[in-house]
Amino acid sequence: MKCKRCKKPAVVGLPSHHTAFCEECFYVYFTRQVETAIRRQKMFTFDERILVALSGGKDSLTLMLALHELGYDVAGLHIDLGIYESSVRARAKVESFCEQHGLTLQVLEMEAEGLPMPDVKEHINRPVCSVCGKVKRHYFNKIAREGNFDALATGHNLDDEVARLFANTLRWDSGYLSDQGPTLPAAEGFVRKVKPLYRLSEFETANYAFLRGIEIHSDPCPFASGASFTSHKELIGELEHRSPGSKFQFYDGFLKRGREAFKMLEKEVGEELSPCEDCGSPTSVEICGVCRVKRAVRDKKAAAAQ
């Protein structure tokens, strides 16, 4: 394969774009996709402060580096979930990456918050992945608000977004369909949330991370048990192979022609939010979901110790 731009030997082939790039031209393509995402979805400006959620995986570290090199004012937030060696290794990768590139990093330990994931797994009778996701979203928003950041950026890529849209569509979950998208504007109690990698596939972010020599944390979570999103990604990957470009068309078509209808529906039936009595985060009940989990873990640990 030859690079479409400069005709040198290609290192990345992209069937969805009927193209291929050499290393240098791939960086140009990748950066332009990020810039287009930020501009078209009105994500943020060069005057704003962006908090980037860093898990240690290829997507979040790639996002952080790309935004930093574009000149945005970024700081990283890593949540140490307290999952034994897995969390130790993930945190080490994030700390080393930020040190290497001179990037600001804040680490929040779930152990100190009374919510280490092993305790959640032991004491809460719900799928731990679901609670973990909820806890992370809660603290990302809380830290972004407390730090007066203008936006919270996550490394969700096109495959993540399409898998989530596919799952939400299978259930016709109007609540989730009403607010899925690359930019979720700030609302009472919620910071603006943005996904600048939404135009780029997992394959593209993996290539970028590899070529840039980013050391990533790639071990599967010891608590994950073949999440449904992974099987959805495989199905969608097969569809993309047979019909290149269909992933982006599905997602972009939803943004342009589907989401607004669900937004209007949710305006009619959506629940009113008020501050959580414990932590002040927005919730539709008196105590937010994360504070209820925190209370349950604390009570059950105390009962088990007696």
Rounded to a whole number of angstroms, the minimum distance from the CB of residue 127 to another protein is 12
Task: Please report how close the Cβ of residue 56 comes to another protein at its closest, in angstroms.
Answer: 11
Q: Which of 229, 231, 205, 228 is nearest to 218 (CA)?
A: 205
Distance CA 302, CA 305 (A): 5
Q: How far is the CB of 305 from another protein (least distance, A)?
A: 31
Task: Give residue 264's identity as a one-letter amino acid code.
Answer: M
Q: Which residue, 190 or 229, is less far from another protein as judged by CB?
A: 229
Among residues 45 and 230, whose Cβ is nearest to another protein? 230
Provide the β-strand partners of residue 79.
Answer: 108
**CA 185 – CA 171 distance, rounded (Å):** 24
Least distance CB 303 / another protein (angstroms) = 30
Distance in Å, CB of 6 to another protein, minimum: 15
Residue matched to tokens 């943020």: 44
Q: What residues contact residue 243 under an 8 Å CB cut-off, 6+ apart?
A: none
Nearer to another protein, 11 or 296 (CB): 11
Both tokens of residue 130? 């679901």
CB 72 within 8 A of CB 44: yes
Between residues 33 and 207, which has the closer beta carbon with respect to another protein? 207
When the beta carbons of 196 and 288 are compared against another protein, the nearer one is 196
CA distance 171 to 176: 10
Task: Pick between residue 62 and residue 168 the one whose CB is nearest to another protein.
Answer: 62
Q: Enumerate binding residues for another protein (CB under 8 A).
A: 1, 10-16, 20, 57-59, 129, 159, 201-203, 206-207, 210-211, 218-221, 224, 226-227, 229-230, 233-234, 237-238, 240-241
Three-point CA angle 257, 262, 266, nearest 5°: 155
